[in-house]
Amino acid sequence: MRIGELARRTGASVRSLRYYEEQGLLTSSRSASGQRRFTPDQVERVACIRQLYAAGLSSRTIYDLMPCSESPSPENSDRALERMERERERLTASIAELARARDALDGLMVLNRTHRAGLVDAARR
């Protein structure tokens, strides 16, 4: 199937599919005229890639996880799970940092509101 058909069947944009191929996440063959040709099993692969992106994983991490789906084995499954656990820890740390930043911004907003209220009161006098 051509790239447009794969895009329609997966809901991914043509641009995303080209990016996935560029990152080594997806492969295609080329027709005589140079058009990309994908196999029907690529539909499921794109669905998997999109789920991994939706989970906040980078293309490099997804690339590292693909052997688990390409060659299922206990060893590949263990490696994939370990990698996902590391990514979860990274996300948890990022969430904590974002929460600290939000809390700091909340404090600045309180200061700003207090300062503004003082300005309004001074203007009324």
The CATH number of 1-70 is 1.10.1660.10
Q: What is the pLDDT of residue 123?
A: 86
Q: What is the pLDDT of residue 68?
A: 79
Average pLDDT over residues 90-97: 95
State pLDDT tens for residues 33-44. Answer: 989 999 999 999
Helix axes 59-70, 42-54, angle to 10 degrees: 140
In 3D space, the residue among 104, 69, 103 whose CA is nearest the CA of residue 83 turns out to be 69
Q: Where are the domains of the chain?
A: 1-70, 87-125
pLDDT band at 60 (very low <50, low <70, confident <90, very high): very high
Question: In terms of pLDDT, which residue wins out, 109 or 122?
Answer: 109
Residues in the chain: 125
Helix axes 42-54, 3-10, angle to 10 degrees: 50
pTM: 0.74
Q: What is the pLDDT of residue 21?
A: 95
